Structure 1
Amino acid sequence: MPTTPRPERSGAVRRSRPVARFALAAALLTGSLAVTTAPTYAVTGTPDSTNGYTYTAQVVVGDAMRGCSAVLVDRDWLLTAASCFAEAPAQSLAVPPGKPRLKTTATIGRTDLGTNQGAVRDIVELVPRTDRDLALARLSRPVTEVTPIPLAGAAPTAGEELRFAGYGRTTTDWAPVKLHTGALTVGAPSATSATYTGKDGAAACMGDAGGPVVRTVNGAHQLVALNSRSYQGSCFGIATTETRTGGVVTRVDDLASWVESKVVATSITDFNCDGAEDIAIGDPKATVGGKASAGVIRVVYGDGKGTAEITQDLDWVPGDAEADDWFGEVIDAVDHDEDGCTDLVVGVPAEDLGSAVDAGVVDVLHGARGGIGTGAATLHLEQGTGSGAVAAAASQSGDRMGHAVAAGRTSAGEPYLLIGVPGQNSGSLAKAGMVFYLRGKTNTSVTQNSPNVPGGDEAGDGFGTSVAADGSHLAVGAPAETVGGHAGAGSVWTFGHTVGADGIPTPLAGITQDSDALSGGSEAGDEFGATLAMADYTTAGPATATESVLAIGSPGEGLSVDNVNRAETGRVIAVRITATGTYSQLNSFWQGTNEDGVSGASEPGDHFGDQIAIVNTAPRAQSTAATMRIAVGVSGEDIGSAPDAGAVQTFSLLGAPGNSDLWIAPGSAGIPGSPGTDQYVGHNIHFTGTKLYVGMPYGPSSYGSLHALPMSNAIAGGTVAQVTTYQPGTGGLPPVGDRFGHSAR
């Protein structure tokens, strides 16, 4: 193909007659992405009458100023042209990773834009390539109505005939209503692209950039390339003297492993939506404005983009910093408003409201391109205000709303919040406990008196002391529950996300240590359910997980070891929950004896299970012993002459504990220093898909610290890599604080 003139990028800005631009914008406001007049079709392609290209998407950037096409390659991801998002595509295809600069909407599976078939999603994250006109685009929610197209494994060859599809212009239409397709013949392939010539007069036009170029093998489509540039012969708005139908496509056949690595990765915390991982660290005992233990949260933005301090004295954070608020005691993170920026969920259970001491509140602090606090207004949740069950309740002393929070997304991608209120009274029953469940329009409360929930409210149960959730299930702990006459034996309840006619998530089971499926038995002071952690469990992949693994901690559990009772040594049980809600024991974790295969030995006061973190490092694949990990905090562990030094032990959730355990303490696994008295290591631990965070708020630093261990450091036999340490006075963090590292997300 001649190099002069250069083919134009088919995703260029749509700039033309004001009437056409107005028509497109007006149609967008009514939910249609094309003009409403009936289209005519010409040599640039024919309408797709077979519905065989439903994986094709129309992309509209900004206020309908730029339109492109794309292709669904995963339920959460599109492939499209980077030029669709570049500031000046004729000069550079450089696109920053993260949230698109302008609001961008994708319509997937709607081959006729005049219908309501398929799905409409926002594009909330871009992962661009630097070597070709290509970007992965993450959707705000999964698309389950349309089957993604697989990537081809073989390069296009000279002379090969392929078909392309797109929503771009035709000869006579500025914005056609129907997806159109055409055939092309490959010219000369290169490492990242290939030239082509349209067959029978077909050509890619403005708006076709990012559309699929497809090979058919045994009746099935494979994605070979994407539309990128074209001479646009006979396209609407192009001079009639231009008759060439050739152009350039971007190859994708060599990118299967790159695409796979991105689409199966666990989500990261990204408060400023730039594609780099951030971390929020709670210091609830910090002094703010002279108010002792008012509390502060410090944010460290990834890629060296600075730090931020969040307190209740900021204008955009509800309330005021007050002594003993302990702001930052409880935190979690999720993209609650589905805009591509992670939001920080903060439980402040020690917040006083008027005369109600320790009534508690929960705030959702929204992430934004400029960082937390620069975008949407904070969502403030306080009993007696707002809407739904939260508004119907009343704040009372000792409620401790937000004592535990779990934030995440259902398997359908919908954000949810599960909030524990363990001090809530039930009539005359003090501290029976309650939880709030918020998802979409659902704003409901659940107690042990709710329909079909096993048991009943009792004084002092503390239902909601602990909570956990994943895409399929919810769990609520009441470690103070009396079971079989044993005070403080503890219980756990499981639920499904589906909300029934009674307005609450579906109750599934009540679990105690007396349950037939579990080993052991309920005893006074076990505190079964004091800590909970949950992760998606996939039995056959790739698929959407419908099962869960729930880890239940009993830090007060007394065990007989070598015929000697070890009080409050602690134990953790891992439970598998099926799609129907049945459960069975997967594993029991405890330190055992000096002679068994598990590191350490059960000793009085170890409190094994004081905290638990679990992770599925490959949630889109079949779960294995290598991908399912658990970290257990042993905050009361004595090490040498240092009482209550604390430690962390990691295991495979699915393998034999003695074959996979790793002992982690200062001086090991890359954590600097040595064990010290009353350090209580293991009191704060948190897994991500790539790291284990270990908080050390009790020293040796007078401020506290947090250590980010690469996953290899947290696996038995793994390579010990460099640990990242966050500590006041370093890395841009001010040299102040008291309990830094108490919480982290």
Structure 2
Amino acid sequence: MRPTRPLLSWALAAALAAGPVALSAAPAAAVTGPAVSSGDTTYAYTAQIIVGGHDRGCSGVLVDREWLLTAASCFAADPVASLAVPAGKPQKKTTATIGRTSLTGTAGAVREVVELVPRTDRDVVLARLNRPVTDVTPLALATTAPAAGEELKLAGYGRTKTEWAPLNLHTGTFSVDGTDATTATVTGKDNVAACMGDTGGPLVRTTGGTPQLAALSSRSYQGGCFGIDAEETRTGSIAARVDDLAGWVDSAVGAVRITDYNCDGVEDIAIADPRATVGGDAQAGLVRVVYGGGKGIAEITQDLDWVPGGSEAGDWFGESLATVDYNEDGCTDLVVGTPAEDLGGEAEAGFVQILYGAPGGLGTGALKATHLEQGQGSGSIGASASEAGDRMGDSLAAGTTAAGEPFVVIGVPGESIGTLAEAGMFFYVRGGTSVSVHQDSTGVPGTAEADDRFAGSVAADANHIAIGSPGEAIGTEAEAGAVVVFSHTLNSENRPTARFGLDQSQDTVSGGAEAGDLFGDAVALAPYRPSGAASATESILAVGAPGEDLTIGGADKADTGAAYTFRVTAAGTYSQLAGFSQGTGDDDVSGTAEAGDRFGSALSAVNTAPRAVSTTATMRLAIGIPDEAVDSVANAGAILTLSLLGAPGANDRWLEAGNTAGIPGPPGTNQYLGRSIHFTGTRLYVGMPYGPGTYGALHSLPLANVTAGATAAPITTYQPGQGGLPSAGSRFGLAAR
């Protein structure tokens, strides 16, 4: 008996796991039309998708360098019963081949699907790839619905009339019968039909020679497809409309990647308490992870069997943190610095660990941790030696390059270069190996000198790396400070390429190099896309100089502090954009400069829309002022948020405990608000490890709370003794990622 409704073309797949498939010796006439020749790149945006060990086969379409659009039914547990697909990492390993007309060739790219963002109203899901596809042009979405009588071209890797698992992309023409709010009904022409494995394949409209994605193949009667009853001759299909999804796609594709240690699509947060007592060891340190969506709290210490090392008094485990999906599996990995770790009798030699995320949370997958310690492993880290005072991991940065390759930058500011104590260096970890970089490395501006503390601060984005050297002497001015900017392009020594150095003796940098300025004591970077550019290949660099002395209103203010911003081009040139300080009480910059404020001690920057042209609203900077006196309360601390673009004083907002930003108050003596700040794409995390609570706290502020003129929203507070967090600790919130 013929079915009364279209078959689910995705029901194919289980058979693919049964064993080898007999393929025809000669090319067969395909149900979806002729095979596309190996040299034809017209449909290069089409992807073959294999779920699990060939449990299912589907097709898809590249709509962004890192994202496919395909059918949700490809990933549903039982697509006949429900198209519901959990957000986050696919439940089974999924491989996508893009831009390869013949699967026996080498063109295009093979990627792993690491994240799903499903629709709930139709058979559509966005699938993120582990790395961008750089040699295939994505297909743009249509903006009008398929019209009755219109002809669309389907491309897919599904069955043909005679082949179960063809090795070539095939195409066929379909006529539109009609549409509703989310679907279109189509019928194949000249006996063409959508077969098993074509699900998720693009139905393409071409107008004026320009192709557009009008719909995705969803269900089909499969008349004439291999393995279908010969009595079934219908070639009708149901397709999922996508012409109204551009806003949804742009929002998902353009969002800043969230921290997601259990890869479920919900933001998580790791909060360090490096002075916490662990097993009786004072100040051994720990990290507490709060999994979003109410999925529990985990405590990570060096006493866990999957974390290398062991908790010891004074380790300060978690003094620095960074995040990156280092093994490219779709789960965020946590990079933990323990710079106070003693090794082999060498005090504060330090080391770093990468703790891997997994669907069950950090440390629950097959790959649990990578230990990075001088004298162990390969590369420059393995070739070096742990020495007293190195403080490896004192500063950390991590991310992915523009090509999507994960990296970690590890500051070792106490490293001796030859006989030069605390000259400093950093390790660049990428591609499974590491290289060391210091000021005597090829092409690096400056010269290694004692007490430079090169890499005392580090920052990085997809384009550049910024290395602060706050102890750098400029001429005879001790601790005037400097910054060196690198690109991720490797030089002849396989080290990042130095682009330029910055210090305040240069005519292109505001102020003058003076003793104790500490220019570079804090650095931050955010990707920048100027108007007219195709992508964010530039960066905005922020540099803090908390020791800067300023003359305000005719009075000298020692250590009031300042911050400076610079535009860094893809070619490696720079220009200063602005300088920031609090000024007088009646100017347009919030706050009043006072001696000892140490404005610029901490910085955090973010581009909340990295795919779009950058604006004053999307480029954001937070400046920590931890020694700020609020009224008569000494060292209460404050934070200034503003735009990385535009004039100083525009778009700024003042944050102190108890004001409208939402941080609980009142201000307290020696709370040092502003020492711990971290921007994400949706919020600013503010740590208060020095009180007012006994153990410290971390506050999560929505962007509205740190945006000038916006109405503040409720904040989220993480505090020991509340929300399932144990009532214990000492410096909870000193770092958070």
Deviation at 1:724, TM superposition (A): 0.6
Taking the aligned partners of 1:546 and 1:130, their CA distance within structure 2 comes to 34
Q: What corresponds to 1:678 in structure 2? A: 670
Taking the aligned partners of 1:84 and 1:426, their CA distance within structure 2 comes to 56
The secondary structure found in structure 2 opposite 1:675 is coil
- Does residue 515 (structure 1) correspond to residue 506 (structure 2)? The answer is yes
Deviation at 1:23, TM superposition (A): 4.7
How do residues 32-181 of structure 1 correspond to structure 2 at under 5 angstroms? Answer: 38-49=26-37, 50-181=40-171
Deviation at 1:442, TM superposition (A): 4.4
- Does residue 499 (structure 1) correspond to residue 490 (structure 2)? The answer is yes
The secondary structure found in structure 1 opposite 2:381 is helix
Consecutive unaligned residues of structure 2, counting only runs of 5 or more, are none
Q: What corresponds to 1:648 in structure 2? A: 639
- Does residue 207 (structure 1) correspond to residue 197 (structure 2)? The answer is yes
Taking the aligned partners of 2:416 and 2:374, their CA distance within structure 1 comes to 13
Q: Do 1:533 and 1:552's aligned partners in 2 also have CA atoms closer than 8 Å? A: yes
Q: What corresponds to 1:718 in structure 2? A: 710
Q: What corresponds to 1:561 in structure 2? A: 552
What amino acid does structure 2 have at the position aligned with 1:422?
P
- Does residue 730 (structure 1) correspond to residue 722 (structure 2)? The answer is yes
How do residues 474-623 of structure 1 correspond to structure 2 at under 5 angstroms? Answer: 474-540=465-531, 543-623=534-614
Q: Do 2:16 and 2:54's aligned partners in 1 also have CA atoms closer than 8 Å? A: no
What amino acid does structure 1 have at the position aligned with 2:724?
G
Q: What corresponds to 1:21 in structure 2? A: 19
| 1:208-255, Cα deviation, whole Å (9 max, x unpaired) | 000001111101111110000001011011111111111111111111
Deviation at 1:484, TM superposition (A): 1.4
Taking the aligned partners of 2:719 and 2:163, their CA distance within structure 1 comes to 61
Q: Do 2:277 and 2:285's aligned partners in 1 also have CA atoms closer than 8 Å? A: yes
Equivalent residue in structure 2 for 1:188, among 174, 178, 190: 178
Deviation at 1:6, TM superposition (A): 2.3
Q: Do 2:2 and 2:232's aligned partners in 1 also have CA atoms closer than 8 Å? A: no
Deviation at 1:144, TM superposition (A): 1.2
| 1:249-307, Cα deviation, whole Å (9 max, x unpaired) | 11111111111110000000000000000000011111111111111101011111111
| 1:483-504, Cα deviation, whole Å (9 max, x unpaired) | 0110000111111101111221
Deviation at 1:4, TM superposition (A): 4.6
Taking the aligned partners of 1:585 and 1:644, their CA distance within structure 2 comes to 31
Taking the aligned partners of 2:16 and 2:713, their CA distance within structure 1 comes to 59
TM-score, length-scaled by structure 1: 0.97
Taking the aligned partners of 1:393 and 1:492, their CA distance within structure 2 comes to 24
The secondary structure found in structure 2 opposite 1:390 is helix
Taking the aligned partners of 2:363 and 2:432, their CA distance within structure 1 comes to 24
Q: Do 1:51 and 1:111's aligned partners in 2 also have CA atoms closer than 8 Å? A: yes
Deviation at 1:540, TM superposition (A): 3.3
Q: What corresponds to 2:692 in structure 1? A: 700
What amino acid does structure 1 have at the position aligned with 2:685?
Y
The secondary structure found in structure 1 opposite 2:5 is coil
Q: Do 1:13 and 1:66's aligned partners in 2 also have CA atoms closer than 8 Å? A: yes
| 1:573-615, Cα deviation, whole Å (9 max, x unpaired) | 0011111111110110110111211111111110101100111
The secondary structure found in structure 2 opposite 1:22 is coil
Structure 1 vs Structure 2: percent identity of aligned residues? 60
Q: Do 1:11 and 1:83's aligned partners in 2 also have CA atoms closer than 8 Å? A: yes
What amino acid does structure 2 have at the position aligned with 1:563?
G
Taking the aligned partners of 2:127 and 2:458, their CA distance within structure 1 comes to 33
What amino acid does structure 2 have at the position aligned with 1:730?
Q
Q: Do 2:289 and 2:299's aligned partners in 1 also have CA atoms closer than 8 Å? A: yes
The secondary structure found in structure 2 opposite 1:258 is helix
Taking the aligned partners of 2:182 and 2:571, their CA distance within structure 1 comes to 47
What amino acid does structure 2 have at the position aligned with 1:48?
V
Deviation at 1:413, TM superposition (A): 0.8
Q: Do 1:152 and 1:222's aligned partners in 2 also have CA atoms closer than 8 Å? A: yes
Q: What corresponds to 1:382 in structure 2? A: 373
CA RMSD of aligned residues (A): 1.4
The secondary structure found in structure 1 opposite 2:252 is helix
Deviation at 1:188, TM superposition (A): 2.3
Q: What corresponds to 1:396 in structure 2? A: 387
How do residues 733-744 of structure 1 correspond to structure 2 at under 5 angstroms? Answer: 733-744=725-736
TM-score, length-scaled by structure 2: 0.98
The secondary structure found in structure 2 opposite 1:660 is coil
Deviation at 1:539, TM superposition (A): 1.3
Q: How many residues align?
A: 733
Deviation at 1:514, TM superposition (A): 1.1
Q: Do 1:43 and 1:200's aligned partners in 2 also have CA atoms closer than 8 Å? A: no
The secondary structure found in structure 2 opposite 1:186 is strand
Alignment CA distance shift 1:700-1:160 (3 Å) = same
How do residues 459-470 of structure 1 correspond to structure 2 at under 5 angstroms? Answer: 459-470=450-461
Deviation at 1:187, TM superposition (A): 1.4
Q: Do 2:15 and 2:55's aligned partners in 1 also have CA atoms closer than 8 Å? A: no
Alignment CA distance shift 1:564-1:690 (3 Å) = same
Taking the aligned partners of 2:580 and 2:25, their CA distance within structure 1 comes to 67
Q: What corresponds to 1:29 in structure 2? A: none
The secondary structure found in structure 1 opposite 2:600 is strand
